[in-house]
């Protein structure tokens, strides 16, 4: 039996009585040695069961490993359940794959320490940070790595500069304008009693409930903040008082949370005639809650979402279409540019548009 210790370059070199470097060249730089010797080296490698240069060692020496890391605000497991996250990853991989780059999905964790350790310890050439809060230490850890970085959605470019990462490729949409558009749509339909169902405003878990203006302004998620600001813009433009609009916020962007939020705001008095949900998944839950209460949509209640992902079309949901896939692609491209030493592209605001479907209609004549 042969020794079962993993083989190295030196083993192959020793077997043939040549230098290790030549064996290395046989694998990595075929032009550096004669074809005959190369064949001989490869044959010997096969015979000895040498799997080719250890990528880890090669990576250390070369300073490249051929992978980009994706750090997601929430955990991975959550990411795969969220159509928006999946679409984003699809966009990232569509760009990374042809470039030959692997995608390292960095594990999240409820334990903050481990969460950061995963970022610090990721074996990658660059990091793609997706949608984190303004003060998330995850981002600080990413910046600390000193690796090329790219950011999707949040924090915003100005915040990135403040965090010591100016010139970081950034991709997002104009959340504020888009939110104003949906709200404006509902107001134009005659709705005067709106309510908002939002996901979390801060990373830290909160007790779900109504959020006053103070809480809203203090939201560390820029996306949340801006969408709320957009709703507010439209509401005030219509001459209404933002303070009279109940804004409920819960945890993650899931149907369950959306349902809970809808229940909560529908219980307020006077009851709203239209719900502005910060995501389609929340809207999905809101629709379920409405159905549970026997409310007809849109006759009794209008519901609007945000994202236009996953089942939005199937639910005939009025929402904002975000080019989620493109966001991933553009961010990946920006990151790969930085890795290759090319200049960082400027922050990129992709278009978002209102998509009116069947879940919004004229306000009921109460």
**Of the listed pieces 12-20, 181-189, 208-216, 253-261, which binds DNA according to CB under 7 A?**
12-20
Q: Does 107 bind a second copy (CB under 8 A)?
A: yes
State the minimum distance, in angstroms, from the CB of residue 18 to DNA: 4
At CA 271, angle to CA 265 and CA 276, rounded to 5? 50
Q: Does 19 bind DNA (CB under 7 A)?
A: yes
State the minimum distance, in angstroms, from the CB of residue 144 to DNA: 12
**Of the listed pieces 11-19, 101-109, 209-217, 292-300, which binds DNA according to CB under 7 A?**
11-19
77 binds, among DNA, a second copy, none (CB under 5 to 8 A by kind): a second copy
Q: Does 294 bind a second copy (CB under 8 A)?
A: no
Q: Does 101 bind a second copy (CB under 8 A)?
A: yes
Is residue 163 within 8 Å of residue 155, measured between CB atoms? yes
Among 32, 43, 47, 120, binds a second copy (CB under 8 A): 120
Q: Does 28 bind DNA (CB under 7 A)?
A: yes
Pattern 209-238, binding to a second copy, x per CB under 8 A? ------------------------------
**Of the listed pieces 33-41, 64-72, 199-207, 272-280, which binds a second copy according to CB under 8 A?**
64-72
Q: Does 52 bind a second copy (CB under 8 A)?
A: yes
State the minimum distance, in angstroms, from the CB of residue 175 to a second copy: 24
Angle between helices 280-292 and 83-96 (to 10 degrees): 160
Q: Does 54 bind DNA (CB under 7 A)?
A: yes
Q: What's the chain look like in SS3?
A: CCCCCCCCHHHHHHHHCCCHHHHHHHHHCHHHCCHHHHHHHHHHHHHHCCCCCCHHHHHHHHCCCCEEEEEECCCHHHHHHCHHHHHHHHHHHHHHCCCCCEEEECCCCCCHHHHHHHHHCCCCCEEEEECCCCCCHHHHHHHHCCCCEEEECCCCHHHHHHCCCCCCCEEEECHHHHHHHHHHHHHHCCCCCEEEEECCCCCCCCCCEECCHHHHHCCCCHHHHHHHHHHHHHHHHCCCCHHHCCEEECCCCCHHHHHHHHHHHHCCCCCCCEEEECCHHHHHHHHHHHHHCCCCCCCCCEEECCECCHHHCCCCCEEEECCHHHHHHHHHHHHHHHHCCCCCCCCEEECCEEECCCCCCCCCCC
Among 3, 4, 63, 146, binds DNA (CB under 7 A): 63
State the minimum distance, in angstroms, from the CB of residue 38 to DNA: 7
Q: Does 24 bind DNA (CB under 7 A)?
A: yes
**Of the listed pieces 109-117, 153-161, 211-219, 263-271, which binds a second copy according to CB under 8 A?**
109-117
- In the bound state with DNA, the residue whose beta carbon lies nearer, of 146 and 239, is 146
**Of the listed pieces 29-37, 173-181, 230-238, 338-346, which binds DNA according to CB under 7 A?**
29-37
- In the bound state with DNA, the residue whose beta carbon lies nearer, of 26 and 309, is 26
For residue 59, give Cα distances in angstroms to 21, 64, 108.
16, 5, 25
- In the bound state with a second copy, the residue whose beta carbon lies nearer, of 151 and 278, is 151
167 burial class (0-12, 13-18, 19+ CB within 10 angstroms)?
middle
Residues that bind DNA (CB under 7 A): 6, 8-10, 17-22, 24-25, 27-29, 32-34, 37, 52-54, 57-58, 60-63
Residues that bind a second copy (CB under 8 A): 6, 49, 51-52, 54-60, 65-67, 69, 75-77, 79-81, 86-87, 89-90, 93-94, 96-109, 114, 117-118, 120-123, 144-146, 311, 314
């Amino acid at each position: 039996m042969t020794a079962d210790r993993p083989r190295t370059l030196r083993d192959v070199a020793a077997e043939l009585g040549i230098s290790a470097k030549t064996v290395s060249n046989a694998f990595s730089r075929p032009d550096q040695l004669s074809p005959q010797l190369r064949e001989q080296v490869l044959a010997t490698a096969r015979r000895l069961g040498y799997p080719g240069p250890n990528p880890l060692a090669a990576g250390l020496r070369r300073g490249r490993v051929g992978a980009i890391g994706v750090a997601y605000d929430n955990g991975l497991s959550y990411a795969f359940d969220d159509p928006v996250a999946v679409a984003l990853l699809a966009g990232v991989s569509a760009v990374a794959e042809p470039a030959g780059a692997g995608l390292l999905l960095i594990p999240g964790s409820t334990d903050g320490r481990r969460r950061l350790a995963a970022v610090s310890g990721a074996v990658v050439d660059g990091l793609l940070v997706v949608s984190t809060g303004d003060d998330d230490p995850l981002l600080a850890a990413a910046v600390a790595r000193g690796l090329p970085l790219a950011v999707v959605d949040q924090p915003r470019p100005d915040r990135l500069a403040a965090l010591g990462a100016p010139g970081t490729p950034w991709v997002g949409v104009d959340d504020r304008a888009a939110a104003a558009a949906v709200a404006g749509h509902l107001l134009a339909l005659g709705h005067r009693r709106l309510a908002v169902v939002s996901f979390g405003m801060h990373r830290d878990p909160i007790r779900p409930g109504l959020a006053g203006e103070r809480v809203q302004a203090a939201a560390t998620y820029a996306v949340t903040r801006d969408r709320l600001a957009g709703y507010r813009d439209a509401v005030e433009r219509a001459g209404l008082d933002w303070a009279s609009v109940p804004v409920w916020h819960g945890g993650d962007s899931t149907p369950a949370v959306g349902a809970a939020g809808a229940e909560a705001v529908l219980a307020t008095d006077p009851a709203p005639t239209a719900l502005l949900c910060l995501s389609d998944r929340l809207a999905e839950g809101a629709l379920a809650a409405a159905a549970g209460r026997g409310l007809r949509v849109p006759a009794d209640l209008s519901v609007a979402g945000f994202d236009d992902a996953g089942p939005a079309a199937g639910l005939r949901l009025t929402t904002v279409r975000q080019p989620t896939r493109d966001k991933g692609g553009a961010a990946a491209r920006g990151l790969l540019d930085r890795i290759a030493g090319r200049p960082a592209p400027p922050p990129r605001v992709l278009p978002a548009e209102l998509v009116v479907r069947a879940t919004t209609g004229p306000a009921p004549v109460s």
